[in-house]
Each structure stands twice: as structure tokens, then as C-alpha cells.
Amino acid sequence: MKHQELSATAHALVAKNKGILAADESTSTIGKRFAGIKLDSTAENRRLYRELLFTTPGANDYISGVILYDETIRQSTKAGSSFAAYLSQHGMLPGIKVDTGAKPLAGFAGETITEGLDGLRERLAEYGKLGAKFAKWRAVIDIGAGIPSAYAITANAEGLARYAALCQEAGIVPIVEPEVLMDGGHDLQRCEQVTGAVLDSVFTHLFAAGVYLEGIILKPNMVIPGKKCAQKASAEQVAEATLRCLKRHVPAAVPGIAFLSGGQSPTEATLHLSLMNAAGPLPWTLTFSYGRALQEPALLAWGGQSGAFTSGQQALFKRAKLNGLAAVGSYKTSMESTAA
């Protein structure tokens, strides 16, 4: 029974034309985003901004679920409905970020281990009561001189597997997010090699932990050259390398893969997703679970100004719609100027 429910939730998250809105920035991260528009990061401003996102008219045509942060899942709309209840009533599944962040990995300079396993069973039980149907845990792998180490990959993969098993025990679908960062100077080939090794380790550990693969969503990075790499890749090359890597390393039992945007521009993230979906039949559904690539234009259009609330919502709607089209391979860059 639990397996059936997990699989049904996972499939709902990757329903046709739909993807996930990642709005689970920690208080410190949203503070940085607000600093970019010179807005104070007060609890009320954070609540107001999340209300703008979640109540965007029509967003539920393209958004299947929203990842919330601990503070946000306890907040409500101005009209008094908890965000989790509001989202459920509007056909969007509420999710929750449950890791407590990537911390320095002792003995391995420049590498991190994601924390948050202690007390996770109890926190999941509480989040379940607050309405969460799925969860997210982000492991971070950086590429640089001599890194990632085999140990950092293994330790992070084990953390993801233990988290995923606890989520499924609680009837919550785990989003398994091993993010290979695009910050470095590495090229496309190196990203493909590291992403492949990371995915291999993640699935080895998920299998060892007895995780039910039909009841997870994988949230990987795309295979893309580092931002400081002189050799740029075309959108077609990114799509091709990403698909090759995923086909080699992700079992067909996984119902859906929902990419993070990781620092790609909103239009790049949409184009890459669409090219992959246009490439032919795939063993899993490919969609988006974007944070910045969905929110950046909305945050800028709003700018913290009460008179620009609707402009912010329109900007989010446009990105949600175009990514919804990309999720079925029907996006064209020419739509950027015409989409409402």
C-alpha cells in the first residue's frame, strides 16, 4: 500500500506538462536573493514573496508541486490558509527541504557533506502532519583540482540513501538531489565523468538501503561545462551529454527526473530541457525542479514593490508555462517574446 502511494505521488510530481517549483531557499539564501533587489529579509517579506509565487493565477497548470522551507511550511496566505493547505487545494503538492545544509567534510579540504539525518524520522513525522507529501535533500559535489574524492562521493551518496529510506518509511516521496556544481573551470567531458560516477554511487547506495526506486524522483544537474571553462558547449551538446549520462546511470524503474537549474539562465534551462524531451522516447519522464530559473524573473519584476505584485506573478507564470512546454519538448526560443 505504501509503495502504491509513493509511486502515485512520484508520478503526480512528473505529470505531463508539469514540473516542480523549488522555493525552499533557507533564510540565509533568500536573504541573498532579497539583497539583490534591496529588500530586507524579514519574516513578513519572505511570507509575502512566497504568497506571490504560490498564488500565481494559472501556475497550477504547469506546477505539480512546490518545495518549501521549514519556516514557509508554517506560514499562511494573507487570507489565513496555511501554504501547504493552499497548495493542496489548488492541485499542487507541498514538499519540504529536510537537509540542514552542506557542511565542510572533515579531513577533505574543499568538500562538503550534507547534514540532517539526526532526528530526521521525527521531523518527517511532523512535516507529514503539516501536509508534506514529498521531501528534498541536496548533496553537493564540487569539481576542482583533485576533487571530488571517492570518499566525498560515497559519504554523500550514503546520506542520500539513508534520507530516502526514512522518507519512504514515513510515506513521503524523497527527491534525491546529488548536485554536481557548475562553478568550476572544468569542461563538459569532466562534468559528464563526475556526474556519472556520482549517479552510480547514489544508485548503489539506494539499492543497498532498500529504497523503492519507483517511489523516488531524481533531481540531478545537467551535464554542462563549468562557468569558468573557456570552451562553451552548445545547447545541443549539453542535451546530448546529459541524456547519454542519464541513460547510462539511472535505472528505468525511476519514474521521473526533475532537473535543478544550478546557475543556468532561465532561457538556457528551458531550452536544454526541451531539447532533451524532443530527442525521442526516454525510460523516465524528464522535467524541471527549478529554483532560480523559475524565480529570478519574478523576483526582479516584483522588486519588493506592492504595485508590482501582479508583474511578479506574470513573470513566474511565463517561466512555468514555457518550462511546461519544455517538459514535452515543445518549447522554442521564439516563444520568449510572445508568451504571456
* Cα-based distances in Å from 55 to 58, 247, 283: 9, 36, 33
Kindly state the helix (H) or strand (E) to which residue 248 belongs, with its residue range: helix 235-249
123 binds ligand 13P (CB under 6 A): no
**The binder of ligand 13P chosen from 50, 123, 249, 292 (CB under 6 A):** 292
Cell of 302: 516584483
Concerning whether 177 is annotated as a catalytic residue, the answer is yes
286 binds ligand 13P (CB under 6 A): no
Catalytic residue among 25, 51, 111, 177: 177
290 binds ligand 13P (CB under 6 A): yes
Would you call 145 exposed, middle or buried from its count of C-beta atoms within 10 A (0-12, 13-18, 19+)? Answer: exposed
**The binder of ligand 13P chosen from 293, 316, 322, 326 (CB under 6 A):** 293
CB atoms within 10 A of CB 152: 21
Nearer to ligand 13P, 111 or 177 (CB): 177
Residue 148 has what DSSP assignment? S
Catalytic residue among 219, 296, 318, 321: 219
> To 10 degrees, what angle do helices 266-278 and 235-249 make?
60
291 binds ligand 13P (CB under 6 A): yes
* Residues in 55-114 that interact with ligand 13P by CB under 6 A: none
Cell of 6: 509513493
260 binds ligand 13P (CB under 6 A): yes
CB of 297 closer than 8 Å to CB of 319: yes
141 binds ligand 13P (CB under 6 A): no
23 binds ligand 13P (CB under 6 A): no
For the bound state, the minimum distance from the C-beta of residue 102 to ligand 13P, rounded and expressed in Å, comes to 10
319 binds ligand 13P (CB under 6 A): no
CA 276 to chain centre: 17
Concerning whether 219 is annotated as a catalytic residue, the answer is yes
Interface region with ligand 13P, contact rule CB under 6 A, candidates 78-86, 88-96, 247-255, 259-267 = 259-267
* Cα-based distances in Å from 149 to 25, 112, 146: 27, 11, 7
Binding residues for ligand 13P (CB under 6 A)? 22, 138, 177, 260-262, 290-293
Q: Which residues are catalytic?
A: 177, 219
